[in-house]
């Protein structure tokens, strides 16, 4: 197993220790996310899901108002803001101390969520490429930023993605963007290899197999493979049947240095982390 570096991040004054891997639960306040089981629309459903995720062991709740599945079309800015304001208002009233993340590529949306609803971190699937103001915004807001690798946009990212050297290109992508963030004074940065974003099935498994190379960047790594096509297409199943495969991939990701698992099924991921951590404990 790969030795994982130890990190902590500052979430609005709450220090989140990543020396033990953490689980991030996914709530989608969208009508079209690829996994129907993650969609929530009413206040009661949203709050119930968030509470259950925390009970099941989630350290972070990640809320998205814009589907980023391959081929997806995104709502306009005002609709995304409306969805997220609705969700975060309900969650914050019920769970004032929960660590919350917003899944958005728009800097104006990120700013609203942090300033109006005390959201603790920003999760950007575009790595700053879909909104040139994102890096300046997150640095000014002073919250942790999840920097994901992707090629293209959700509408076209799976149209024949190509790499001459996958790992080298991913490493250079992160090195360039991390430096730009550091130049702006950004403190806490988490990197996400972007499984399923501008990558073929073979690319995804090559990336997973060599993911330990990303530890050279000395930053926490978030892995989001939950119920994705890299699992259910390989196994010839569906997203609804992909929990077992997800657990296998999450286990491999932990051995490669993942600090955060972003998942739909929190309890299963938490059990995966507990078993992994037991295996890391020194023998008596």
What are 34's two structure tokens? 């690829």
Catalytic hit among 106, 111, 177, 228: 228
Q: How big is the CA angle at 229 (ends 224 and 233), to the nearest 5 degrees?
A: 145
CB distance 117 to 143 below 8 Å? no
CA distance 118 to 172: 33
The single residue of 227, 256, 262, 270 carrying the catalytic annotation is: 262
Rg (CA), the chain: 17
CA dist., res. 198 & res. 88, Å (int): 30
Q: In whole angstroms, what is the distance from residue 149 CA to residue 158 CA?
A: 14
Answer yes or no: 228 catalytic.
yes
d(CA 102, CA 119): 7
Residues noted as catalytic: 228, 262
């Amino acid at each position: 197993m790969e030795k994982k570096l130890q990190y902590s991040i500052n979430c609005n004054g709450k220090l989140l220790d990543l020396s033990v891997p953490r689980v991030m639960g996914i709530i989608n306040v969208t009508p079209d996310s690829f996994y129907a089981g993650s969609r929530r629309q009413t206040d009661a459903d949203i709050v119930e899901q968030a509470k259950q995720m925390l009970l099941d062991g989630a350290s972070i709740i990640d809320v998205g108002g814009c589907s980023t599945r391959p081929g997806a079309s995104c709502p306009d800015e005002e609709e995304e803001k409306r969805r997220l304001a609705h969700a975060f208002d309900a969650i914050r009233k019920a769970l004032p101390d929960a660590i919350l993340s917003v899944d958005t590529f728009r800097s104006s949306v990120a700013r609203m969520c942090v300033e109006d609803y005390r959201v603790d971190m920003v999760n950007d699937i575009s790595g700053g490429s879909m909104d040139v103001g994102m890096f300046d915004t997150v640095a000014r807001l002073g919250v942790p930023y999840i920097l994901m690798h992707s090629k293209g946009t959700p509408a076209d990212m799976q149209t024949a993605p190509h790499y001459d050297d996958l790992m080298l290109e991913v490493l250079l992508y992160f090195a360039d963007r991390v430096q730009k963030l550091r130049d702006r004074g950004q403190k806490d940065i988490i990197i996400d290899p972007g499984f399923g974003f501008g990558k073929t099935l073979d690319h995804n498994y090559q990336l997973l197999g060599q993911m330990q190379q990303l530890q050279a960047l000395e930053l926490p790594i978030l892995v989001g493979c939950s119920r994705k096509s890299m699992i259910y297409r390989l196994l010839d199943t569906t997203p609804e049947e992909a929990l077992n495969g997800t657990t296998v991939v999450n286990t491999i990701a932990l051995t490669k240095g993942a600090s955060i698992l972003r998942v739909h099924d929190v309890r299963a991921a938490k059990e995966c982390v507990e078993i992994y951590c037991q295996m890391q404990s020194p023998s008596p």
